[in-house]
Structure 1
Amino acid sequence: MREDVMALRPNPTLRQRRLGSELRRMREQAGIGGSELARKLGISPAQVTQMEMAKIGVSPERLRMVASACRCANGPLIDALAEMASERGKGWWEDYRGALTIDFLEIAELEAHAKRLTFCTTAYIPGLLQTSAYASAVFARLFPPLSAGEVEARTAFRVRRQEIVRSGSTPLRTFIHEAALRMQFGGSTVLVDQLDALLNDSEHPGISVRVVPFALDTFPGSGENLTFAEGPVPELDAIEMDVSQGALFFDSQADLAMHRVIFSRLDSTALGEADSRDFIRSVMKEVKSGNV
C-alpha cells in the first residue's frame, strides 16, 4: 500500500511512536516547519503530521528523504531509524492485546528491541528475575485487588518476558537496593526461594546483579524503579519508570543524559558482583532464621 493512501493507525505501538517522534525531532533540530518539509517531500502537511504522530507508516526510502531534507548527517542514527521503518510483523506480546493493559505490552516491546537492559529497583526484585511465586505475590498485593485470573495472566506474561534473559541474547545489568531484597511478597518461604533464584541468575554470563546496601551514604536517583534500555545508537536509548498508575516512558536527550549519570553513580557505589552474592546469602540466612 502506498504511503499516501495508507489507512490511519488507530493505536500506534510504542516503537512506532518512537520512530515518529524521532522524525519530528530531526525536523525541529533542522529548524524546518511541517509545511516546509511537506513541500520538500512533495506530500501534504497533514501527511507530515501523521508520520510524526505514527498514524501512518514511513518507508526506509522516505525516511532517508526526510533525513536529507532535514540535513541530518548522523549516518548511524539514520540507518537505525531506517531499520525501524522496515520492521514488519507483530511481536509475541500482541497475543495478549485485550487481555492485559497496554503498559505490559509496551514494556515487553521495549525489552525485545533493547541491545542491553539496566534495572534499578528499590521495592522488589526486577521483573525479569522474579520467580513465578514471587511475581504472583507482587500482583496479588495490588489495590484494587485483581481477580485470580488476572494475577495468573500477568504472571504468565512476566514469565514469558523472561525468555529474553534466559536466551542470553540481551545482556542484563541490575542494581537492587537492599530494601528490595528484604521486602516480603508472599511470605518468607517465597522470598527465600526468590533470593536463591537470584543467586543462580547472578552466575549467568549475561546477567550482572549488584546490591546497593542501606549502609551506603547515598542512593543515586530519587528511588523509582527504573529500566534503561539501550538502543542500536545512544540517541535511541529509552527509559521506563514504574509508578503506581502504570509505566512512564522517556526518550528526550536531557532525560537520557540525566539517567546515564544516575546509573554511572550506581555503578561506582554498588557492591561488586561477588560481594553482592555474599550479601544476598546473608539476607537469605536472616530470613530463614526469622531475624528480619
Structure 2
Amino acid sequence: MPPKRHLTARRVRLGCELRKLRESMGMKSREAAALLGADSVQMSQIESGVAGVSAKRLRRLAVHYACTDEGLIEALVAMATDRTRGWWEEYRGVLPPVFLDTAEVEHHATALREIVITHVPGLLQTTDYARAVYTYMMPGLPDSELTPRIEHRMRRRCVIEGAEPTPYETIIHEFALRVRVADRAVAQAQLHQILTQIEDGHATVRIIPADQDGFAGAEASMMQACGPVPQLDTVLRDSPTGTAFIDAEPQLNQLRTLFRKVEKASLSPAASRDFIHRLTKEL
C-alpha cells in the first residue's frame, strides 16, 4: 500500500504492534520484509505507520511471527482495514495533531476510564468551563485558535452521548470540583452538567473526598482507552511536554494497578452523586 499522507495514533499503534510481534520472534526487519516480497524500507514504513498493510499481508506476518491469538489478529486486521474519516478530521491543519489523535483513540475504544485530580474531565466540561481553562493556560490565544479548541472539546462528548455510547467511568478528586476556574455561576453550571450526565447514563462518576485517608495519587491523572483486546489498551497521560500515548505492556499493567488503587479510595457512584448534590448547595 502507498504511504499514508497523515500519521495518526491508530496507524502508528498498528505498526508498533507488528514490530512487537516481529521482535518477539527475534526476526530482523529485512527478514520480515522478504516474507512480503518487500524491502527493509517498506517494512520500516509499515512499522512506523507511514505505509499501510493489507489484511492478507498482515495475516501472513502473523503466521510467520507465530501469533496464535486470534482476537489480537482480528483486531489488528480491523485497524489495518479501517477507512473511517471521523469528525475530528475536520480539524486537521486547524488544531495540533494530538487533538485529533485523542478523539480517534476515544472513538475506537470499547470503554473509557479516567482519573482527574485538578480539573473536571474534558468529556464532562461545559463550554464556559473549557473556555476558562484554555484562556488561563494559554493566555493571549487568539479567538481563531481558541474557538476550535473549545468546539473540538465539546464535540468529543459524542463518544458518550451518541446512539451507541462508549461506557465511560471517571474518578474525580473533590479538589477539581471546588476550584473555580471562572466564577460561581460557571462552577454551579459545571456541577449540574456532571449530574445531568450521570442521570442520563452517560457517565459513571466516583469522587475522592479531600479528607480521604490513604490517598497519595496526586499524579494519577490519566485516561485508559480500552481496546478490543487488552494488548491494545492505550493510556493517555498529560505532561508538561504534551500528551503521551502509552502502550507498552509493563507500563499498562502498572497504570491498571494504579487505577484500581485510586478506585478503592473513591466513593461509590451513588455516594458520589449525593456528594456532588451537597457541593452544589455549598458553592
Give the corresponding residue for 2:110. 115
* SS in structure 1 of the partner of residue 243 of structure 2: strand
Runs ≥4 residues deviating over 4 A: none
Segment of structure 1 superposing worse, 128-137 or 162-171: 162-171
Query: How many correspondences in the alignment?
Result: 282
Structure 2 CA distance for partners of 1:178 and 1:222, relative to 1, 3 Å? closer
Native 8 Å contact 2:220 2:258 kept in 1: no
Residue identity (%): 39
| Aligned-partner Cα distance in 2 for 1:155–1:144 | 14
Native 8 Å contact 2:235 2:245 kept in 1: yes
Q: Quick one: which of 128, 152, 157 aligns to 1:157? A: 152
**Residues 37-59 of structure 1: CA distance to partner in whole angstroms, max 9, x if unpaired?**
12233221221111101111001
Q: What residue ranges of structure 1 are gaps of 5+ in the alignment?
A: 288-292
**Residues 13-58 of structure 1: CA distance to partner in whole angstroms, max 9, x if unpaired?**
1100000000000101111111221223322122111110111100
Q: State whether structure 2 residue 44 is matched by structure 1 residue 46.
A: no
Give the corresponding residue for 1:188. 184
Structure 2 CA distance for partners of 1:116 and 1:220, relative to 1, 3 Å? farther
In the TM superposition, 1:1-292 aligns within 5 A as: 3=1, 6=2, 8-167=3-162, 168-219=164-215, 221-287=217-283
| Aligned-partner Cα distance in 1 for 2:5–2:37 | 25
**Residues 138-166 of structure 1: CA distance to partner in whole angstroms, max 9, x if unpaired?**
11111343123322211111111111111
Q: What residue ranges of structure 2 are gaps of 5+ in the alignment?
A: none
Native 8 Å contact 2:198 2:205 kept in 1: yes
Q: Shift of the alpha carbon at 1:99?
A: 1.1
Please tell me the root mean square deviation across aligned C-alpha atoms, in Å.
Answer: 1.5
TM-score, normalization by structure 1:
0.92
| Aligned-partner Cα distance in 2 for 1:150–1:54 | 28
Native 8 Å contact 2:191 2:280 kept in 1: yes
| Aligned-partner Cα distance in 2 for 1:286–1:198 | 16
| Aligned-partner Cα distance in 2 for 1:146–1:282 | 36
Q: Shift of the alpha carbon at 1:10?
A: 4.7
* SS in structure 2 of the partner of residue 117 of structure 1: strand
Q: Shift of the alpha carbon at 1:243?
A: 2.4
Q: Shift of the alpha carbon at 1:183?
A: 1.2
| Aligned-partner Cα distance in 1 for 2:37–2:102 | 36
Q: Shift of the alpha carbon at 1:220?
A: 5.6
Q: Shift of the alpha carbon at 1:221?
A: 4.0
Give, as a single letter, the amino acid of the residue that structure 2 aligns with 1:9: K
Give, as a single letter, the amino acid of the residue that structure 2 aligns with 1:137: A
TM-score, normalization by structure 2:
0.95
